[in-house]
Amino acid sequence: MKAKNCLIFGGSGQIGKNLIRKLTKNNYRVTVVTRNIHQKSYIIKTQANAGYIDIVEANIYEEKKIRELFKKSDICINLIGILFEQKKGNTFNNIHTVFPGLLAKLCKEYNLKHFIHLSALGINDAIDSDYAKSKLEGEKQISKNFPLATILRPSLVFSQDDQLTTTFLTLLNRLPFFPLYYNGRTKFAPIHCSDLTDTIHHIISNNIYSKIIECIGPEIISFKELLQRLLQLINKRRILVPFPLPIAELSAKFFEMFPKPIITRDQLRLLKYDNISSGKYKTNSDIGMPSKRYFNDEVKKYCYMWREGGQFSTEKYNSNIDKEKKIS
Ligand SMILES: NC(=O)c1ccc[n+]([C@@H]2O[C@H](COP(=O)([O-])OP(=O)(O)OC[C@H]3O[C@@H](n4cnc5c(N)ncnc54)[C@H](OP(=O)(O)O)[C@@H]3O)[C@@H](O)[C@H]2O)c1
């Protein structure tokens, strides 16, 4: 099979790294665009065998440089996304709306076979969230400029590289209590990163052209249950405290003062809405890629560092201790 050339934006993130490994193993050649080659290239380069990967430094405003990359690409995958806005043009509008619109235009101009764009689940409902509005507007721009595009809307994506379970595990480990927003009732259908990238690989290798695909995991879990499961996995007990909305907003406003806020007021608004399949669009199961990795089974593989004893709390070490006891 002739290796197809994939152009990946945002490839240094959680989904990007996993996707690079999957695509290059399956004979695709990837070109990964990053804003900072000095900081990110060692992370990106080690995800693939030499000869299968190129790394290019560019930001979303360098259209001329990006155009050159489109000339030798068959597939474009956009994984760029932010959870909070920052200075210097890093706004939801620029990143989630204008840039995907530009990529879609270039896909049309250079006759690409596929454009896969990562959007997010639940954005139709979350009308008061700037994040959701910008993602939705981005989808519209894409559909207008390149109707062949496939838009993926994942629920929470988790893996050892995520910023979700790993951050929660750290906070649960350190804090004596943890806030429950909206009484912890918001529902999610977390999908393991590898199941999501399997879906992306399936779409491009089988030439599937479905406008919007909701990507969901095998279980529906509430926010409270998610925290309880994490606590159980690290064998800790913490008080989960329901936060009244005004207090939640006040604390989010406080966190916004930090360069990497744990939660923002916009995320708080987003958290009001369930993050599960809407029933209006196809899901990964409908295209033959049901998610098979369960939350507890997967998190168990990497959560041991947050348990008492760290690396020595794994089953591997526990069974050795048992053996030693028997010997002595
Ligand atoms: N993770 C989830 O739970 C989840 C759920 C729903 C939807 N999604 C969507 O899926 C996509 C990928 O998610 P992810 O978890 O892999 O994200 P991630 O780990 O945060 O990575 C995002 C990538 O975007 C690039 N990026 C960030 N800010 C940028 C900016 N201002 N300009 C240009 N590039 C920028 C970064 O690349 P460089 O630093 O190398 O430039 C980074 O590697 C995003 O669009 C996200 O919204 C994720």
Residue 322 has pLDDT above 80, yes or no: no
Residue 15 has pLDDT above 60, yes or no: yes
pLDDT in tens, 98-132: 999 999 999 999 999 999 999 999 999 999 999 99
Residue 304 CA, ligand 1 centroid: distance in Å: 26
Residue 165 CB less than 6 A away from ligand 1: no
- Round to whole Å and give the CA distance between 137 and 149: 15
- In this structure, which residue's CA is closest to atom 17 in ligand 1? 13
Residue 80 CB less than 6 A away from ligand 1: yes
According to the model, what pLDDT value does residue 162 have?
96
Residue 80 CA, ligand 1 centroid: distance in Å: 4
Residue 14 CB less than 6 A away from ligand 1: yes
Residue 120 CB less than 6 A away from ligand 1: yes
How many helical (H) and strand (E) elements, i.e. helices and strands, does the chain have?
Answer: 13, 14
pLDDT in tens, 161-184: 999 999 999 999 999 999 999 999
Atom of ligand 1 lying closest to residue 40 CA: 40
CB 38, CB 105: distance < 8 Å: no
Average pLDDT of 134-149?
97
CB 81, CB 97: distance < 8 Å: no
Burial of 211 (0-12, 13-18, 19+ CB in 10 A): middle
Residue 101 CB less than 6 A away from ligand 1: no
Collapsed DSSP state (helix, strand, coil) of residue 90: coil
pLDDT in tens, 21-74: 999 999 999 999 999 999 999 999 999 998 999 999 999 999 999 999 999 999
Residue 314 has pLDDT above 90, yes or no: no
Residue 109 CA, ligand 1 centroid: distance in Å: 25
Domains along the sequence of the chain with CATH: 5-159+190-219+273-293 (3.40.50.720)
The pTM score is 0.95
Please state, for a pLDDT cut of 90, what percent of the chain lies above it: 90
C-alpha to C-alpha distances, 204 to 5, 14, 55, 170, 177, nearest whole angstrom: 11, 20, 21, 36, 45
Locate 312 and state its tokens: 């020595």
Residue 90 CB less than 6 A away from ligand 1: yes
Residue 40 CB less than 6 A away from ligand 1: yes
Residue 192 CA, ligand 1 centroid: distance in Å: 16
Model confidence band, residue 316 (pLDDT cutoffs 50, 70, 90): confident
Residue 79 CA, ligand 1 centroid: distance in Å: 5
Residue 96 has pLDDT above 60, yes or no: yes
- In this structure, which residue's CA is closest to atom 1 in ligand 1? 157
- Round to whole Å and give the CA distance between 278 and 153: 11
